[in-house]
Amino acid sequence: MRLAGANNDEIQLAKTKHTEVLAESKLAWQRFWPSLTLGAGYRRTDGNVQDIAGAVFDVSKQQYTVGPNLMIDWSPGDMYYAALAAQQRAVAAEQLAEKARRDIVMQATGRYYDLLAAEASLAIIEDDLRLTQDYEKQIGGAVDAGTAFRADLLRVKTQVSRERLAIRQHQEKRDLAAAALAETLRLPADSELHPAKADLVPVRLLERKLGVATLISQASQHRPEMKAAGAVNQAAIFEKERARVAPMIPSVLAGYGFGGLGGGYNGDVSNFDDTQNMYIGLGWKIGPGGLFDKQRQIIVGAQEEATQLLAGQIKAAIGREVVEAAAKAQSAHDQIGINDEAVAAAQEMVKLAKERQASQLGVVLEYLLAREERTRARQSRVQAVIEFNKAQHELMRAVGK
């Protein structure tokens, strides 16, 4: 689980997207700061010009300036609500990055348990094969001594071949599960991965006394998808307020510059001296993007409604996931108990069949069938434990823990 949360590029991609949106949010607030320009300029005019009164005359002049200019171009209402919306989008991106991390960890956990199930089933068949091969030697000796039929020996040899075939199939299944897990962990595809045998025990991660309604309530509070949906909806609300309120707040255009100004007629550059100027203005925009823009308000209203509907869909899907995970966990728990009974019965059946075989009362087929039943019961119990532990992790993820 630690490996899954460390190197996966899907998680890094989600984190990168969060970093981008967070920077956009910070930039939105920084737009309230005025811009400062530092520079120098030169202008020359030769030929006819027209004065304010309308007279046209011939001139030859030049002008040069040096100094900084402080500029302010604000639409306070628009900038404020845009910054609030960007801030909520950053929160949503953060929660979606957390969702990506949890999804990858859940995928890695499931693939790990697939590997564990394949290796545990393989160990059961290998154990059974050793016993069958020992039994084959015993029957072979009995056939040589004339106390057993050759058909019994051939029946045991067939069972040995069947178990060897099953071992090869489970080895393939184990290797495929290891490759799938290596992919999720972003390890080399040919990594030799083996699960810890100690993990093959049922582990309950949540209290049984918690009802489904309580689990759904916890999921609604803790799932990152719900937090992201809430942030997206809040961003849509701010965009709606931006369309309604921002046009009523006047825009501010202001500037202040100072430095030096020089020049004059022809090539005169001697009268350089300090200069400064400033201006300020207020204005309202009318039309698209400003006052009386009904279509913009309709658009943002529809977007807000869409985010609410999307949040409802996410909540319904989360509720289904909780119910499914809880049902799987309970079913797997019950199956473990049933399989325990089946394993005990199969063990007793093998014991009785072996005793009957030793006393010449039974047949080889009966003993082999009893062993097959025990193997199936043991494998079924392994699968039930694996499914129980998977369901527990799925339930933990479903409730947002």
Task: Tell how far CA 65 is from the center of its chain.
Answer: 56
39: Cα within 13 Å, side-chain hemisphere: 6
Evaluate whether 370 touches 353 at the Cβ level (below 8 Å): yes
Q: Do the domain assignments include residue 65? A: no
In this predicted structure, what is the pLDDT of residue 117? Answer: 92
Q: Do the domain assignments include residue 222? A: yes
State how far the Cα of 365 lies from the Cα of 198, in Å rounded to an integer. 35
Question: Which domain does 297 fall in, by range?
Answer: 4-32+76-255+287-398
Q: Do the domain assignments include residue 343? A: yes
Can you list the alpha helix ranges (DSSP code H) found in 146-192? Answer: 150-185
In this predicted structure, what is the pLDDT of residue 176? Answer: 92
Q: Do the domain assignments include residue 359? A: yes
Q: Do the domain assignments include residue 360? A: yes
Neighbour-count burial for 55-76, b at 16+ CB within 10 Å, e otherwise:
eeeeeeebeebebebeeeebbe
In this predicted structure, what is the pLDDT of residue 135? Answer: 77
Strand order in the sheet with 251-265: 35-50, 56-74, 251-265, 273-283
In this predicted structure, what is the pLDDT of residue 359? Answer: 59
Q: Do the domain assignments include residue 96? A: yes
Look up residue 286 and give its DSSP letter: B
State how far the Cα of 42 lies from the Cα of 62, in Å rounded to an integer. 8
- Mean pLDDT by groups of 10 residues along the chain of 401 residues: 71 78 80 76 83 84 82 83 89 88 89 92 89 81 77 83 91 91 86 83 76 85 90 91 87 85 76 83 83 86 91 91 88 88 86 71 71 87 90 87 81
State how far the Cα of 272 lies from the Cα of 260, in Å rounded to an integer. 7
In this predicted structure, what is the pLDDT of residue 361? Answer: 44
Q: Which residues contact 53 (CB under 8 A, 6 or more apart)?
A: none
* 239, two tokens: 């965009």
In this predicted structure, what is the pLDDT of residue 6? Answer: 66
Tokens 């825009």 found at: 251
Look up residue 209 and give its DSSP letter: T
Q: Do the domain assignments include residue 47? A: no
In CATH, what number is assigned to the domain containing residue 208? 1.20.1600.10
In this predicted structure, what is the pLDDT of residue 236? Answer: 92
Count the domains in the chain: 1
Q: Do the domain assignments include residue 146? A: yes
